[in-house]
Structure 1
Amino acid sequence: MNNFDVVIIGGGTAGLILARELGKKKHKTLVLDRKKDLLEFSFNTLGSFLNLKEFDLTEGVVAQEINTISLHSKNMKRKVKSDLYILDKKKVHIELLNSLDPEYVVIKTGIDIKSITKKNNTFTTVIDKNKEAYFGKIFIDASGTNAVISKKVGLRSKKVDLATGVEYNVKYLGNPAEGHLLIGKVYQGGYGWIFPLKNQRAIIGFGTFDDEIVKGLKERLHKILELPNIKKLVVKDNEKVEGGSIPITPVLDKFVLHNLVCVGDSVSQVNPIVGEGYKFIFEAALIASKAIHKSLENKNLNHLTEYETDWKNRFLLNYQRSKRSQERFFKYSQNNFLMDYILFLSKFVSDKRAVRSLSGEYGLDKV
């Protein structure tokens, strides 16, 4: 029988963290993912300020450690001392998969969920494209930007605004411990990044919120690669391009409906200003896992709303502020003079406070 305590739709970051935590608590958990290979990604690296120990990850997931972030506008540069990791997504997910307790966690791949059914205001099953049903006491939508269930039940709008990026793995000529964030008119409302890797390699990318710019994103990245300041740092030596999207919808704070719980990109839990989801999605998943465990232990679904309450207490005000900052950035970033001026003013802000802003945690430290 396909009957479980918890059924998770999505075997990505949020789904695997939840499966790990629920398996630790000895809850029978099923993870369903439409991909056949859970280690297949559109992006293979990302920058993150997360604390590895906090999420039970080892340094084996780190592609490179960064101690300096350089912010570049057209005519200004600001260096910020910071501890930042460039993560290897494949290694992160391998560690998460290896941490699952096979006695309690089952993974099924190649499963395309199409609907969810309920009886007396309680969801009872999810059904795949082959009409096979999977039964659970609690269901979790961790399906990422696809938002397979959260869209169907109205927790997330069916039309979603996305930020999209493309990147190349290139030869790197700069300091291997220095990452770069690039802003200004040439990025047309978006931003660029250079993330060093080992062996004199780096990731250079360009992302934007503008649907019109997205249409020619690869060509625009090629033009950026020809800029004099960029050519001093990287040399493109291959044609393999990677790309992906994250949601930039309005900040949401409703994640629970009856016995359905939504985590991660399915309810836009990427921080709006930094576009780095792992740190925030990991933490949201841990918060959700505690509420789910409590609900199953006490046989009381009302405890699921504690996830919403705890998430709001931890993140809501910061996310709302980040969203306002995102909107201002989109408006002002196409003006080189403004970007130069903002970067100049940032030199009067301490590194510690600048890192708070870059990490999406600003406002928490008044130093």
Structure 2
Amino acid sequence: MNSNFEVVIIGGGTAGLILARELSNQKRKTLILDRKKDVLEFSFNTLGSFMNLKDFKLTEAVVARQINKITFHSSRVKSSIPSDLYILDKKKVHLELLDALDEKYVTLKTSVNIKTIEKDDVGNFISVTDQNKIKYTGKIFVDASGTNGIISKKVGLRAKKVDLATGVEYNVKYLGNPNEMFLLMGKMYQGGYGWIFPLKNQRAIIGFGTFDVRIVKDLKNRLHTILEIPYIKKLVVKDNDKVEGGSIPITPVLDQFVLNNLVCVGDSVSQVNPIVGEGYKFIFEAALMASKAIDISLEKDDLNYLTTYEKNWKKRFFANYTRSKNTQKKFFKYSQNNLLMDFVLLISKLVSKKRAIQSLSGEYGLEEI
């Protein structure tokens, strides 16, 4: 295997691909290693995002549906706010990122499981070795391996055992407003939270997620119970048995992403916003910050420049994420009680639409940063 790489990225998911795209544009010799045979296989195929597509050089081809209204339901209260967000098709997002990679600078290798990591006498990473004992070397290593945290867990940047929010969902026939998204909250939703994401061609995603590890094994049955709620039946018709599912980390807010010549991006260091659980916008921003730090570090041949990534991330996100984490804890508590959730929705009607969208988009507390 050619070892003449400046950057070795572990993980060809969201974080790894956008970082590789930026490094490709910077003409940095980059290797992506991914454990999957096909990097376009996902546990969830859609997500909601408030991102500005142009900020990340994406086209409207990645949009499954544009949303202009968000409706919240608790057991007895309904509240709607105007919005401007997208339901994104993850496969199309990743295809655009893959198509943007310059093969002269970026190599992608799949079906690679990293087994060992080698460091030199001063603690810098010099190689990783896969299941076939093939060694990959580079100047800078990036952990973009998602919740697996292949390197970040080994070196202590992230705890080995993490809390997760887990969800399941169906692609169903949709009878509602094609531009209206639903968020379902309260104990009647089986100890978790639900969502309905409209798609094209009168289809939608209906899902159910939970933070409670005690009911994770029963997610599918609980989603079936939600499907029997009268007003849900007016919105969706389950016409297949193909269920999808996955998890996102809900770990404490982290702020160290660099260790010597190791850089971590995305779920490997829990960069999903605590309130919304929408990682793409925030992971994309972090990856752009990381790419600039990596580029200048290689240009100056000085690893100290890598820490500018941490500094810029903290300035942009840390206060925001800390406040969001506190709100997340309150939501966990409220979601187990119908009366509390009803009360929260009633109070939310008094909040300005601008403030409500700031909170929902994950930019909670941005005015104070």
- TM-score normalised per structure 1: 0.98
SS of residue matched to 2:290: helix
2:258 corresponds to 1:236: no
Deviates more, 1:326-335 or 1:214-223: 326-335
Query: Which residue in the other structure is 1:2 paired with?
Result: 3
CA–CA distance in 1 between the matches of 2:32 and 2:188?
43
Pick from 248, 252, 255 the counterpart of residue 254 of structure 2: 252
The amino acid across from 2:33 in the alignment is: L
Query: Which residue in the other structure is 2:109 paired with?
Result: 108
CA–CA distance in 2 between the matches of 1:201 and 1:127?
44
2:333 corresponds to 1:310: no
The Cα of 1:189 is off from its aligned counterpart by 4.2
Q: Report 1:128-139 matches (<5 A).
A: 128-139=130-141
The amino acid across from 1:282 in the alignment is: F
Query: Which residue in the other structure is 1:222 paired with?
Result: 224
The Cα of 1:342 is off from its aligned counterpart by 1.0
CA contact (8 A) 1:208 1:214 kept: yes
The amino acid across from 2:89 in the alignment is: D
The Cα of 1:162 is off from its aligned counterpart by 0.6
Q: Which deviations, in whole Å up to 9, do the C-alpha atoms of 1:215-251 show, x marking residues without a partner? A: 1000000000001121111111100000000011111
Query: Which residue in the other structure is 2:39 paired with?
Result: 38
CA–CA distance in 1 between the matches of 2:352 and 2:68?
15
Q: Report 1:114-153 matches (<5 A).
A: 114-119=115-120, 120-153=122-155
Aligned residues: 366
The amino acid across from 1:278 in the alignment is: Y
Pick from 284, 292, 295 the counterpart of residue 294 of structure 2: 292
CA–CA distance in 1 between the matches of 2:334 and 2:185?
10
CA–CA distance in 1 between the matches of 2:38 and 2:3?
21
Query: Which residue in the other structure is 2:72 paired with?
Result: 71
After superposition, the CA RMSD in angstroms is 0.9
Query: Which residue in the other structure is 2:13 paired with?
Result: 12
CA–CA distance in 2 between the matches of 1:189 and 1:318?
27
Q: Report 1:135-284 matches (<5 A).
A: 135-284=137-286
CA contact (8 A) 1:187 1:334 kept: no
CA contact (8 A) 2:190 2:222 kept: no
The Cα of 1:345 is off from its aligned counterpart by 1.1
CA–CA distance in 1 between the matches of 2:79 and 2:102?
46
Deviates more, 1:199-208 or 1:187-196: 187-196
SS of residue matched to 2:5: strand
Q: Which deviations, in whole Å up to 9, do the C-alpha atoms of 1:20-71 show, x marking residues without a partner? A: 0011111100000011101111111111111100000000000000000001
CA–CA distance in 1 between the matches of 2:226 and 2:251?
27
- TM-score normalised per structure 2: 0.98
Pick from 335, 360, 363 the counterpart of residue 362 of structure 2: 360
CA–CA distance in 2 between the matches of 1:216 and 1:3?
48
Query: Which residue in the other structure is 2:22 paired with?
Result: 21
The amino acid across from 2:7 in the alignment is: V
CA–CA distance in 1 between the matches of 2:299 and 2:117?
24
CA–CA distance in 1 between the matches of 2:105 and 2:189?
47
The Cα of 1:365 is off from its aligned counterpart by 4.1
Query: Which residue in the other structure is 1:49 paired with?
Result: 50
The amino acid across from 1:33 in the alignment is: D
CA–CA distance in 1 between the matches of 2:116 and 2:287?
23
Q: Which deviations, in whole Å up to 9, do the C-alpha atoms of 1:320-359 show, x marking residues without a partner? A: 1111111111112111111111111111112111111101
Q: Give the unaligned 5+ runs of structure 2.
A: none
CA–CA distance in 2 between the matches of 1:362 and 1:322?
6
Q: Which deviations, in whole Å up to 9, do the C-alpha atoms of 1:253-281 show, x marking residues without a partner? A: 11100000000000000011111110110
The amino acid across from 2:205 in the alignment is: I
The amino acid across from 2:136 in the alignment is: Y
Q: Which deviations, in whole Å up to 9, do the C-alpha atoms of 1:132-158 show, x marking residues without a partner? A: 110100000000011111011111111
Deviates more, 1:336-345 or 1:24-33: 336-345
2:78 corresponds to 1:90: no
CA contact (8 A) 1:264 1:270 kept: yes
The Cα of 1:199 is off from its aligned counterpart by 0.9
SS of residue matched to 1:94: helix
CA contact (8 A) 1:14 1:282 kept: yes
SS of residue matched to 1:3: coil
